[in-house]
Amino acid sequence: MDTIAATPDKKSQQGRLFSWRLARGLLISVAALATLAGGLYTVENLRGRRAWENCRRDLELKGAVFDWNTRIPPPVPDDQNFFGAPDMADWFAGRQTNDFVRRLDDPRTHSISFNGTNLVQTQADAREYLEWSDQFLPDFDQIRSALKRPCARIECDYGQPTTVVAPNFFTIRNLAQTLAQRTHSFFLLNEPEKALREVTLLHDFCRILECPPTGKPITLVAAMINVAITGLYVETIAEGLRLRTWQEQQLIELERQLAEIHLEKSIAETLVDEPMFTLRTLETSSRAELVNLFVGARADSGIWPVVLKYSPQGWLYQYMVVHARLNEKFTEGFDAANQTVAPRKIDEAGRIMYQTAQHRFPYTFFASWAIPNWLKAVQKFAANQTMANEAAVACALERHRLLHGELPQTLDALVPQLIEKLPHDLIDGTPLKYQRIAADQFLLYSIGWNETDDDGIPSKNVDDGDWVWGSPLKR
C-alpha cells in the first residue's frame, strides 16, 4: 500500500521538475532572443547612424544644407504680408473649406477648356456667366489690394516641417478657373482690355506661391500649384492669340508678364526644402507620429506599419541616406541657374526611385510613401515653363504680324524691338525651333522630353514628340 500511494506523488514531482525545466528553457530562449535583438538593434543603430553621418558630410561638402532653421522665413508685419490682409489667410492657407471656395464652385467654372468642350461657347453664354461671376468683383479687388503687399508668409508653426501650412489648393484652383472662364467670356465678346485685367490677376496671384521675399520654404504642393496655375494662364493667353483678340497694348503687357515667369526658382527651392522636410521629420518625430504621418488610415493593416513602429532607428537613418541620394540624383538633372533640365538624368533618377519603392527592403520600406514623384514634377515644370517661353515669342510674333502684315522669316527679326531677349529651349539650351509656314501661320516648338527634333510633330504625351506651341500636352 505504501508503494502504491507513493507513485502519484512521484509523478507529480517529476511533472513539476519537467515544467520547471521547460520554463527555464523558455526563459533562457527569451533572454537569448532579447539579447540577440538588443545586439541587432545596437549594431543596426550604429551602422545606420554612421552611414547617415558619412552621407551628410559628403553632401554638405557639395553644398547641400540640412539645417532646418535656415528654411524658416522671418516674421513680417501684417501690413506687409499678403496673408495678413483681411480674409486672405482664411481663403488661401491650409486645407479647410471656406465660404469663398464654395461660392466659386459652379459647373461652368470647372468646364473651362479651350478645345471645344467649354460650357461657355456663345456670346449669350458669356454674358450669362459674367453676370453670375460679377458677384466676385469685390473679392477680386480685395485680392488685388492684398497682392500689393510685398511678402507672402503663412502664419504657422515653422519649428517642424509637419506643422508648416501649405496653400489651399481648392480655393486657388477655383479662383484660377473662374478668372480663366471670365477671360474666355471677354474673348467671345471681343473685349480684350477686360480680358487682360482678369488674366493679369491670374498671373499676379502666382507670386504668393513663391513665398516672397525669401522664397522659402516652398513645399512641393505649393510649387506644383504654381506650375498648374501657370499652365492655365498660358493656355488662356494662347486662346486669345488663336482668336486674334489681343491687340498691341495687351500683347506688350503680356510679354512683360511672361518674362517674369521663372518656375525653375520654385522647383530649385523645393528640391532643397522637400527632402529636408522628410529628413527633419524622421529625425525628430516619435514612431507613433511617423506611423500616423506616413501610413495614416492604413496603420491597422499590413506588416509595414509594425515595421515602421518597431524597427531600429538605424533603419530610418539608412532610409535617410536613400532619400538624400535620390534627391541628389534629381538635382543633378536640373540646372536652375542656366534654366535647363537633362531628361536622361531625370529619367534615370526616376527609374532608381521606382525600383527603390518596389523593393521592400528594411531601409526602403516606406519609400513609396515618403519620396515625392520628382520625375512627374520636373516634367510638368519643364513643359509648362516651355509653354510660357513659347507664349512670349508668340506674342512678339503677333505684334510683328500686326505691325508688318506678316510674320518674320526668323525669330532674330523680333529682337530687340518686339522682344528684349529670345528664350531658349529648356531641354538643351539651344534656340526654340521656328518655321514660317505662311504670312500668318508659323510653327514654334521645343525638342521635348525625348531630346529629339521630331520636325514639330506634337507630343501625344509629355515624354514623347516635340512640345509644339498651340498643341495641348497629355500629362
Site of grid cell 495614416:
296
Q: Are 399 and 392 in contact (CB under 8 A)?
A: no
Q: Which of 215, 223, 217, 276 is nearest to 71 (CA)?
A: 217
pLDDT of the residue at 19: 60
Number of domains in the chain: 1
The mean per-residue pLDDT over the stretch 306-312 comes to 76
- For 52-67, the DSSP string reads HHHHHHHHHHTT----
Question: pLDDT tens digit string along 404-443?
Answer: 999 999 999 999 999 999 999 999 999 999 999 999 999 9
pLDDT of the residue at 33: 61
Domain contains 261: yes
Domain contains 250: yes
The grid coordinates of residue 50 equal 554612421
pLDDT of the residue at 319: 84
Under the banding of pLDDT at 50, 70 and 90, the label for residue 358 is confident
* Cα distance between residue 332 and residue 276, in whole Å: 17
Q: Are 190 and 245 in contact (CB under 8 A)?
A: yes
Domain contains 369: no
Domain contains 236: yes
pLDDT of the residue at 475: 45
Under the banding of pLDDT at 50, 70 and 90, the label for residue 4 is very low
Would you call 441 helix, strand, or coil by DSSP?
Answer: strand
List helix spans (H) across 189-262.
192-205, 220-242, 248-259
pLDDT of the residue at 463: 83
Contacts of 127 (CB under 8 A, 6+ apart): 185, 189
Domain contains 423: no
Residue 243's alpha-carbon distances to 183, 187, 256, 428, in angstroms, are 12, 8, 21, 32
Q: Is the pLDDT of residue 22 over 70?
A: no
* Cα distance between residue 189 and residue 203, in whole Å: 22
* Cα distance between residue 6 and residue 92, in whole Å: 87
Q: Which of 147, 273, 271 is nearest to 206 (CA)?
A: 147
Under the banding of pLDDT at 50, 70 and 90, the label for residue 95 is confident
Domain contains 111: yes
Would you call 288 helix, strand, or coil by DSSP?
Answer: helix
Sign of CA dihedral 261, 265, 271, 272: negative
Rg (CA), the chain: 30
Q: Are 393 and 443 in contact (CB under 8 A)?
A: no
pLDDT of the residue at 145: 98
The percentage of the chain sitting over the pLDDT mark of 70, rounded to a whole number, equals 86
The grid coordinates of residue 189 equal 465678346
Q: Are 426 and 389 in contact (CB under 8 A)?
A: yes
The pLDDT mean for the chain works out to 88
- Domain with 248 in it: 75-267
| Backbone conformation region of residue 220, classed left if phi is above 0, alpha if psi is from -120 to 50, else beta | alpha
Q: Are 377 and 271 in contact (CB under 8 A)?
A: no
pLDDT of the residue at 211: 93
Domain contains 216: yes
pLDDT of the residue at 20: 60
Residue 301's alpha-carbon distances to 291, 305, 306, in angstroms, are 12, 7, 9
Domain contains 402: no
Distance of CA 287 to the CA centre of its chain: 27
